[in-house]
Structure 1
């Protein structure tokens, strides 16, 4: 596990994990501004990775029948409905009360006190996003796995080896994004592998290969970050000031993500944590303190024993 100090700066995770022949770090850039919600990525992921079907589960959330990333949904296309902003309410003469815009879709989708651009919108819109494991630079799931089932690949991605997983479930609460899940009737942890088998053969991951609008883009992470920054600048020039990147910053709480996104609203609207932090960041300090406490207790016991003998 990286020490606490290394968590505050950029890191190439594959060499840090011991790969002497590490490849360029590969990842996903998902541009939600061109996602059409076709779910081709979900289908391609299931077909290539032989992920069990989830069945038809009508969740009451528009066309989103998967609901979230799970052991049986390694890609999840979120549908967020945003009706047109409501007209100001007139409660009484001189009243300045106004009924704010109502946001449907993801629970808790309206971050309080933040300008999401609704004031400049005049019509209904859909927000769609194909979510996936973030393949964090500082992956807490790796820190807590007791069997080595989770490992860092030479491409910088994070993969679960299902034949080694013992189903302990430690990785599930460790993930700051809530990505990892245990399969019912199986007990083992499952998530996106970024199609590790395809990467080794020089192929594009199945979801990116199937995406008809190039909303999901795959490639060297450094190139994707440059491409994403250019795309955000273009959208700003076209009058979309709400366009922003999420998970691209190598100095954030997880050291940046191997799968990052262009969003058209606040992260919470899409069901993403606004400021994710690696959940094991304090472990080195905790172990150090525990060790010092154990040494102090041992020293006290020796002193007591020696004193009692004399």
Structure 2
């Protein structure tokens, strides 16, 4: 029964990692940009919930989604569009610069200490089934993730902009040559990425009851690991990697000796290095990438 409890906890955590990894994988698949400023989108969502704390929960959540999505679009227009033809290394440095800038602006405005937020606190109560105790928030996180994965799959398969994004992810240069509008496709990728980041921030604030200027740092790091494990550029791989990282993290937290649980993240990253030595291309490889090998 303890194993079943651990698997339930791992699934909910993996669902959140999957959403964060999808946000990173989406921009990478089109622009070859590893956007470490994605963590600051999560942070902005948290502070938006803080500023709208006097409003109903629904209004707070919608405000966070709207603000973060608009900020993601602004980030693409101001910071990354002028560097679109630059090398991936330049784009990576730019993402770090945007990340540190937003962190320090938030620290100047809100201070370095975490702020408390009462958001969806009733969902922290647990559903008890025998000896199993499952917080409603975990069930909601898993359900929302599955719905979003199904929705994104349909979006990429059946909508015009979704098909254009898939084409751009396969070969961006060729997609532009056949008339696919680059600005619209990249803006759509950032908008979806921002929406996913806002949903992650909603979960994190509901779980922890607070926000801080560093709240997105660890999340984006684990999301990046999940993206690499799944296969950079593969959205299905990003989701799969997110669930795997969540499962490994929870199982290590559960079954490591008590004195070693403090070093759980070190074990996670150690396993990550071992995985890359075995399969550096990740679990799922796009057909276009496989042809280049």
Give the TM-score of the pair, scaled to structure 1. Answer: 0.22
Higher share in helix: 2
Structure (1/2) with the larger strand percentage: 1
Higher RCO structure (Cα 8 Å, ≥6 apart):
2
Q: Which has the larger radius of gyration?
A: 1
